[in-house]
Amino acid sequence: MKHLVGKQQTKKVAFAGDEVEVRKLSISQVKSIQDILNDKKKSKDEMLVLREVLRLAVIGAEEMTDEDFDTFAPADLAELSEEIMQYCGLGEKAQAGNLVKES
């Protein structure tokens, strides 16, 4: 098992009529998202949480600005986030709780 430490798992998922590659989030990355959710002021901004998830998980999204994300439909971003959470075993469909709640 030690030989797998630091190895990233990825898969391609459909997004906005194309495909993107997403990585499974590590426990430390999930904790950083939970820290945002626990910060009452930040957690009220659902787009901030959504962008953080996407920046951590979508390959190439780490360099995107908030304005870049704002060019996509909210439904597409939420669907991609749910796909990521499912891939990590944290999505609404994967278990009862969900890190990123849709409105």
- Per-residue pLDDT tens digits for 21-32: 999 988 888 888
Per-residue model confidence as pLDDT tens digits over 25-84 = 888 888 888 888 788 676 677 888 889 899 999 999 999 999 999 999 999 999 999 999
d(C-alpha 91, C-alpha 99), whole Å: 7
What is the value of pTM for the model shown? Answer: 0.75
Domain boundaries in the chain?
A: 25-92
Question: Which residues touch 38 (CB under 8 Å, ≥6 apart)?
Answer: none
